[in-house]
Amino acid sequence: MKNRSLSFWLFLTPTLVALALVVFIPAIMGIFYSFTNWDGLGYTEMLGFKNYITLFHNSGFLAALWFTVKFVIVTVILLNVIGLGLALLVTQKFKGSNLLRTVFFMPNLIGGLILGFIWQFIFTEAFDALGKAFHMAWLTGWLTDGKTGFWGLVIVTVWQMSGYIMIIYIAYLQNIPSEVIEAAEMDGASPWQRFVHITFPMIAPAFTVCMFLTLSNGFKIYDQNLSLTNGGPYKSTEMLAMNIVNTAYSENNFALAEAKALIFFLIVAAISLLQVYYNRKREVDL
Amino acid sequence: MTKGWKKLGVSVLAGAMALTLVGCGKSNSSSSSDKKVKITIFQGKVESNKQFKQIAATYHKLHPNVTISVSSVGGGTDYSPVLKTRISSGNAPTIFSLAGPADVKQFASQEADLSNTKAAKAAQPGTLDAVKSNGKTVGLPFNVEGYGFVYNKTIFKKAGINPTSLTTMSKLTAAVKKIDSQKSKLGIKGVFALPGKETWILSDHLANLYVGQEFGGNAQKMYKSKSMKFTANKEMKSMIDLQKKYSVGPVMQLDYSAQVNQNFSQGKVAMIQQGDWIYPTVEQIDKKFAQNDVGMIPIPVKGYENKMPVGTSLYWGVNKNKSQAEQTAAKNFLDWLYTSKQGKKLVVNKLHFVPAYKGYTGMKMPDALTQVVFKYSQQHKTIGWAFPAYTGTSWDPNTFQPNLQKYLSGKQNWDTTVKNSIKGWNEQQASN
């Protein structure tokens, strides 16, 4: 190998060292700690797979996992449908489309924590007032049970992130050569046919990117969860990331939290990679 | 040739890394010459950070050889991870804070024996129960705090109720009904504000009165217990039911700030289940209201009439891995703060701490709520705090709190709530 020279290694070293120090070494230590009774300071005994057994039996992990999976399914669908819809809307040629792009993207500029607090106010005060004024009982008592907590989280996430997804779709939509569409138009394809048979396949790479982003974001979400519901009431809206943080920091069970984090990582990695692999297959080249 | 270069590169790099690491380790060394001592305090009561810094400066003026630096991280769950990080990175503080039996156990390898300090000898009976480890005292209480029903004096007067007479459940219930019937006349929205979102209001403070009984209010005893009976659960149920029925609603949407800031401080409710720590918040919102309208009575519990739950949420620990000089300086500082004439004044007037120590008779607390706690504490009309036994364990957030919240929101009946709670506690304690 010609390029494995001194300079090759010299240029690579800083990155390798940094990566090793902040990713590989902590990860390996974490895996090791998950087999002990580590409490953040030290460990006194090796537990073998005990933490992993506890994790699947009695620790709220499965409930959090199920809640997170439901959340991910709903948000991935909604985000991509709404994101693509908004992108199609603002790529039409009409006055104010640029303004609309800015407006749709705006929520993404607000931090998740603040957003959670703002929406908490909207859900508990504004929804309540509207519900009372128009006698719609379903608008009152939001965030007081698991169901409204779930939909509250979905609404906030979709509201925040669909603008970002929209931007990605816009970029790919604008890359579609107009000749192809014009040719189809000449051949008598209806707008729907043009969308399904030309636009849709042409933006397949955008799907790969957006699916990946929404999937991994949905699994890893923490700040909105913290500020909107804090996992409550009665732990019914606790997502995976929050469950792990709570296990470590409020129950002082660092080793169990390590085990959970490892399983969490494996799940997210497996799903994301599978998704990218299958979506890549669908992409078309001109 | 290439191989040689590679080897050289790797060894240079390894050397550079080793140097950096050594540099990190060395930064903490201190010179032990001419008796100058530098001690560090890292504590968890973040609201008193400024006052502790001022006290450290005062102490330095009196004892020029001792320099104290104070840093604080707040909140129940934020403090201990940071302390752990500081210990593991070799930057451990001389004086740190401990939040109860779970912390005492976790940080056992750091805790110096404080049994012979003046402060430990002056501590009021019972205040050191939670920080005994193998017969030694390893913590000194910051202060004592108390809770009960914080009430609005004006509303009680208008309704014609004498708050100090509400010593039993039936008297309280009658008074609550009386206030409720005149709600519009009194201009209030509800009698109570019960924050169902805050898990600790019920699980820690209220439950202490009913769960703690069987352990004599002793946190260490409960922490070591193998089982729990929860015999007083029916009384707890009626207290929750009463607060829920006459609370502004919906209770599951109320949190701490809705309870204290938006409802009580604005005079929208007659009373709330809270403690002396809310005074600064109320004062910030309405100074006049805080000075004239705020009082506190104990929560009536059968067998413990007119007794207030008074206890300690944080204790000082001294790091036994530090040099002897540093440890002595740390102990001297704590002794000075809690037992010297000057220190006592600072404790009461600067920190607004209700003292957990003897020798404060005749001193006057600066605000209405701490005055009440001080009075009950001086007269020994108190109930111990057993709940620090479980706040650091997984039973509280994973079993007890969710079950209580399920009951409060009507998703689960009381018997199941009690059964699940007892079962969870017994399982946790059996595996410890």
B335-378 pLDDT, tens digit per residue, is 999 999 989 998 998 888 999 998 888 888 889 999 999 999 88
Q: What is the residue range of B46's domain?
A: 36-144+312-360
**A10 vs B: CB within 8 A:** yes
pLDDT band for B20, please (50, 70, 90 cuts).
Answer: very low
Do B299 and B420 sit in the same domain of this protein? Answer: yes
Beta-carbon separation of B80 and A252 below 8 A: yes
Beta-carbon separation of A140 and B17 below 8 A: no
Q: Helix B233-245 to helix B414-431 angle, to the nearest 10 degrees?
A: 130
Do B268 and B414 sit in the same domain of this protein? Answer: yes
> From the CA of A207, how many Å to the nearest CA of chain B?
39
> So what's the pLDDT on residue B156?
92
CA–CA gap between residue B203 and residue B195 (Å, rounded): 12
pLDDT band for B299, please (50, 70, 90 cuts).
Answer: very high
> So what's the pLDDT on residue A199?
87
pLDDT exceeds 50 at position B26:
no
Number of domains within chain B: 2
Mean pLDDT of B364-393: 89
CA–CA gap between residue A28 and residue A47 (Å, rounded): 17
Residue B18: inside a domain: no
pLDDT exceeds 90 at position B296:
yes
Across the interface, of A145, A247, A251, the residue whose CB is closest to B393 is: A251
Do B240 and B351 sit in the same domain of this protein? Answer: no
pLDDT exceeds 50 at position B28:
no
Do B79 and B211 sit in the same domain of this protein? Answer: no
> So what's the pLDDT on residue B335?
92
In this structure, chain B runs to a length of 432
Q: Choose among B393, B395, B427, B326: nearest CA to B99.
A: B393
Cβ–Cβ under 8 Å, residues A41 and B84: yes
Residue B133: inside a domain: yes
pLDDT exceeds 70 at position A280:
yes
Tell me which of B326, B344, B360 is where a domain ends: B360
Do B264 and B399 sit in the same domain of this protein? Answer: yes
The structure tokens 């913590």 sit at: B139
Buried b (16+ CB within 10 A) or exposed e, B414-429: beebbebbbebbbebb
Our CA dihedral for B401, B403, B407, B412, rounded to 10 degrees, sits at 170
Do B232 and B260 sit in the same domain of this protein? Answer: yes
Q: Choose among B421, B354, B382: nearest CA to B207.
A: B421
> So what's the pLDDT on residue B295?
93
Cβ neighbours for A128, distance < 8 A, ≥ 6 positions apart: A139, A140, A141, A142, B253
Buried b (16+ CB within 10 A) or exposed e, A214-245: bbbbbbebeebbbbbbbbbbbbbbbbbbbbbb
Find the CATH number of the domain harbouring B397.
3.40.190.10
Mean pLDDT of B395-414: 90
The alpha-helical segments, DSSP class H, found in B212-312 are 219-224, 233-245, 256-257, 279-285, 287-293
Token pair listed for B303: 């067998």
Beta-carbon separation of A5 and B2 below 8 A: yes
pLDDT band for B34, please (50, 70, 90 cuts).
Answer: low
Helix (H, G, I), strand (E, B) or coil at B43: strand
pLDDT exceeds 80 at position B5:
no
Q: Which of A28-32, A188-192, A280-284 has the lowest mean pLDDT?
A: A280-284
The pLDDT tens digits for B127-161 are 888 888 888 899 999 999 999 999 999 999 999 99
pLDDT exceeds 60 at position B8:
no
> So what's the pLDDT on residue A286?
59
Cβ neighbours for B286, distance < 8 A, ≥ 6 positions apart: B265, B266
Neighbours of B272 (CB within 10 A): 23
Instruction: Specify the DSSP class assigned to residue B92.
Output: -
The structure tokens 């004599």 sit at: B216
Beta-carbon separation of A141 and B250 below 8 A: yes
CA–CA gap between residue B162 and residue B154 (Å, rounded): 11
Do B140 and B165 sit in the same domain of this protein? Answer: no
Q: Choose among B394, B353, B189: nearest CA to B271.
A: B189
Do B183 and B290 sit in the same domain of this protein? Answer: yes
Do B51 and B121 sit in the same domain of this protein? Answer: yes
Do B283 and B323 sit in the same domain of this protein? Answer: no
> So what's the pLDDT on residue B75?
62
The pLDDT tens digits for B76-100 are 567 888 888 888 888 899 999 988 8
Closest chain A CA to residue B92: A41
**Terminal C-alpha separation, chain A:** 35
> So what's the pLDDT on residue A2?
57
Q: What is the mean pLDDT of chain B?
A: 86
Q: Which residues of B touch A5 (CB under 8 A)?
A: 2
> For residue A94, how far is the Cα from the chain centroid?
32
Residue B3: inside a domain: no
Do B193 and B111 sit in the same domain of this protein? Answer: no
pTM of the full structure: 0.81
> So what's the pLDDT on residue B77?
62
pLDDT exceeds 80 at position A282:
no
Our CA dihedral for B240, B246, B249, B252, rounded to 10 degrees, sits at 0
Apex CA B115: angle with CA B110 and CA B117, to 5°? 100
Across the interface, of A124, A234, A249, the residue whose CB is closest to B253 is: A124
Q: Provide the CATH topology of domain A53-282.
A: MetI-like fold (1.10.3720)
Token pair listed for B121: 């000898």
The alpha-helical segments, DSSP class H, found in B272-354 are 279-285, 287-293, 324-339, 341-345
Our CA dihedral for B274, B277, B279, B281, rounded to 10 degrees, sits at -100
Residue B48: inside a domain: yes
Do B295 and B246 sit in the same domain of this protein? Answer: yes
Structural domain boundaries in chain A: 53-282
